[in-house]
Amino acid sequence: MTPAVVFDTFPPSSEASDVLAPVPGLAFSLAAVTLGEAPSARLEAARSGGNLTEARLIEIAAEVGLEAAARFLLSILETEATLERCELSPLQYLTEPQLIASAAKLLDVSKIGVCPAAPETELAYPLRPSLSRLFSVSWISKSRARRRPAQITI
- pLDDT tens-digit series, residues 74-107: 999 999 999 999 999 999 999 998 899 999 999 9
Query: 4-147 adopts what CATH topology?
Result: NADH Oxidase (3.40.109)
Q: Is the pLDDT of residue 126 over 70?
A: yes
Instruction: Report the C-alpha gap between 97 and 125 in whole angstroms.
Output: 9
- Going from N- to C-terminal start, the domains of the chain cover 4-147
pLDDT tier at 15, thresholds 50, 70, 90: confident
3-state secondary structure of 24: coil
- How many CB atoms are located within 10 Å of the residue 68 CB? 12
